[in-house]
Structure 1
């Protein structure tokens, strides 16, 4: 049935209101049959209800089971909601559920690297490998040297920290597929981070080989271009026009390069990427507790209880038992512990929103500090691997967006981002941004059992709060009372945004 809406007496005063009403009519008539078919958790924000609609629409269209959408404005987390249910526990997804970040970790690693450089641990122009060159390198030759004792490419000595940051370390996974010395078909590309079993076989070690052996194998292989070489000219279809001497056709995205950055962090500090990140970039002083961003684990039995079940249709060889049964790709198809620096962090949305307030997430200055800007421009870094699809998007006017999904579907993520940007850029949505901050853990003394601290599954006792949280926790308490008496020894920011709370005997 065709419908017609007549708007009369439209003035400059109500023009924007009509525009929003027209958009709302279009969206709701398209989505009316599917709104709220997903479980939705977190505080409902009426001013941002079309974000709910967009998320539900995309998840239903692409049959996604669990997702988080979070938005900040002017430094406040004004929207954070969970959608869907965990397929293992069947519980609704809490809005503060942590998920694997995949490559959204890369700008975080870059920020740590730049901070360490500014503190004098090394220079961005320092060489990565210590191969006898003037000045040496950061990673010692006693640990990092070709597994077979043979350096096939002397240009390894030219790779700098800055080359790794900018994905210009000399590796091209598409050409490396043809040039590596592993026999057999590996596919259209050779990413060493996904080739644990083959590398273990080649180097005669037990799978998974781990980072040091992976580096030793890669040091025995040729580079595909001169590290740091500039990009050449391209045509309108992004094809190289010419490749003069010393020129390469753009940077080549490298997970391996960022794994090396993770190793550099560990080499100079003696601590993991996650630990240094929490000390330098996303700290308890910023109200980011260690419970909200941490190192992930490969096997389902080892994952944090708050994480969802990661879904993927792929059934892969088990890197921990290559001759055993096949496994679901997210749980043994790769060794997540070896992905430090480029893809093994787990985080809720809030830490990433806070990161976006201050740091560049893409480009040659990735991980550098940056101020805000006005307008519709944005930059973003996405992450994707079996069981994970994520994006961290930094928009003009101090708007940040984070999306976390527990399964990979690039089309779904792209469509959601397009819908959100269309609302913000083309429709001026929302007309007024809310200012209430919705992040943090929740406590409700009237609840009968404790959940994971989300708005709809709150903690129900102070004892549970203290056992489940860490320094830098924001604790939001719903109206109620408790006779609890004790000592809080953790750094906490406590408020009761919706009414009076009485604690004590």
Structure 2
């Protein structure tokens, strides 16, 4: 029989997992993907093996099934790392194995880090959720002189709208300001001015969810304005140093060893062409899988009460995990989103996925306090990314079920 693991509820399974390790297609060595043999639509990886061996079997199956060069994963709770392992290679046709020290681009898993920094500033009294952003009294009032295309809507934007993707537009579609090629050469200041002047908002802030990379770019500039420090400097000092993470950095177009190489089956050169450094506060960090687990535990430490450093107060955690129900009215594809984290209230469990050309990532904090992350140095071709992401989600829950002793109280 198969054991279904639902991300909304962490079920501590003690029985055997589904019988047999499923390896679709012709078997190949893990870490030696074949880009000409895309994965089938059905047949997710399962294993009858439990313990760490079961985790390894699932991981090796997954990177073979989805033609991934390499993968790194980590599990922990309360500041402790229970398990970390790496698979495959740092390059698509490479010979250098991925290790647990290999850093990967984490893409949109950056957003929880930016959210944590914003809430630290709120706790310090430097901001409120209702602080205006662009008006003359706003935190980014240096842009108040820009003739915005939709000035009434822009003037209504508050910090909470950026955190929750409720600013009313600037969504991650074909007109995402962060990815438009004609904007690639613009620095943050010029990009913001250009976007305000040429891209109007469809809705009044607070009325409609629209996932916005640009909104989190703005939050990075808020952090810089309030602290007087570059975004990455503040996050390293205020968020990363307290949890013992000392070498996360913002990505560049080149490699910063020990960093994985990146492969995109649609365009192998593209991961090194787009302006990744400018994506600092919405998708720019590189990290180890264990760095993400330490961070995820620290964000929720005050309410988990399982030890380890705590980055935020319980009141901030309550706000981060609260969901704005009004968002579903105009976006049927809406995933319940708090402030920097997607939220499933059945647990509740908090998580975030990341996806860029050459990158796939996930960070999950469950209601039991167990935290895990996975980083990969590729993503599948257009049209199969959502399916792969869903399978990765299920895979990590299945891995956690291989170790029922990791449950709280076990």
Q: TM-score, structure 2 length as denominator? A: 0.74
The superposition leaves residues 61-85 of structure 1 with CA deviations (integer Å, 9 ceiling, x where unpaired) of 1111111111114432111111101
Q: Does 1:304 align with 2:256?
A: yes
Q: Distance in 1 between matches of 2:263 and 2:376?
A: 10
For residue 266 of structure 1, the aligned residue among 224, 232, 249 is: 224
Q: Which residue of 1 aligns with 2:367?
A: 396
Q: Which residue of 1 aligns with 2:3?
A: none
Structure 1 stretches of 4+ with a deviation exceeding 6 A read: none
For residue 189 of structure 1, the aligned residue among 151, 164, 174 is: 174
Q: Which residue of 2 aligns with 1:164?
A: 162
Q: Which structure has the bigger radius of gyration?
A: 1
* Shift in alpha-carbon separation, 1:257–1:362, aligned structure 2, 3 A: farther
* Shift in alpha-carbon separation, 1:164–1:48, aligned structure 2, 3 A: same
Gapped runs of 5+ residues in structure 2? 1-12, 33-48, 300-316, 324-337
Per-residue deviation, 1:251: 1.0
Q: Which residue of 2 aligns with 1:432?
A: 405
Name the SS for the 2:223 alignment partner.
helix
* Shift in alpha-carbon separation, 1:34–1:295, aligned structure 2, 3 A: same
Superposed, which structure 2 residues align to 1:84-483 within 5 Å? 84-87=88-91, 90-130=95-135, 132=136, 136-141=137-142, 145-146=145-146, 149=147, 151-173=149-171, 189-195=174-180, 197-199=181-183, 208-221=185-198, 222-229=200-207, 250-283=208-241, 285-289=242-246, 291=247, 293-298=248-253, 300=254, 303-315=255-267, 328-332=269-273, 334-359=274-299, 364=323, 365-366=338-339, 378-409=349-380, 410=385, 411-422=387-398, 424=400, 428-433=401-406
Per-residue deviation, 1:384: 0.6
Q: Distance in 2 between matches of 1:172 and 1:215?
A: 11
Name the SS for the 2:390 alignment partner.
helix
Q: Distance in 2 between matches of 1:89 and 1:37?
A: 13
Name the SS for the 1:382 alignment partner.
strand
Gapped runs of 5+ residues in structure 1? 1-15, 40-44, 175-187, 200-206, 230-249, 316-326, 436-505
Name the SS for the 1:219 alignment partner.
helix
Q: Which residue of 2 aligns with 1:27?
A: 20
Name the SS for the 1:401 alignment partner.
strand
Name the SS for the 2:374 alignment partner.
strand
Per-residue deviation, 1:160: 0.7
Name the SS for the 2:139 alignment partner.
strand
Q: Does 1:68 align with 2:68?
A: no
Q: TM-score, structure 1 length as denominator? A: 0.61
Per-residue deviation, 1:144: 6.1
Name the SS for the 2:197 alignment partner.
coil
Q: Distance in 1 between matches of 2:115 and 2:227?
A: 15
Q: CA RMSD in A?
A: 3.2
Per-residue deviation, 1:304: 0.4
Name the SS for the 1:262 alignment partner.
helix
Q: Distance in 1 between matches of 2:348 and 2:219?
A: 29
Per-residue deviation, 1:413: 3.5
* Shift in alpha-carbon separation, 1:168–1:377, aligned structure 2, 3 A: closer
Name the SS for the 1:127 alignment partner.
coil
Name the SS for the 1:306 alignment partner.
coil
Q: Distance in 1 between matches of 2:407 and 2:131?
A: 46
Per-residue deviation, 1:339: 0.9
Q: Which residue of 2 aligns with 1:463?
A: none
Report 1 or 2 for greater relative contact order, CA contacts < 8 Å, sequence distance ≥ 6.
Answer: 2
8 Å CA contact 1:294–1:347 kept in 2: the answer is yes
Q: Distance in 2 between matches of 1:106 and 1:415?
A: 22
Equivalenced residue count is 339
Q: Distance in 2 between matches of 1:280 and 1:418?
A: 33
8 Å CA contact 2:58–2:399 kept in 1: the answer is no
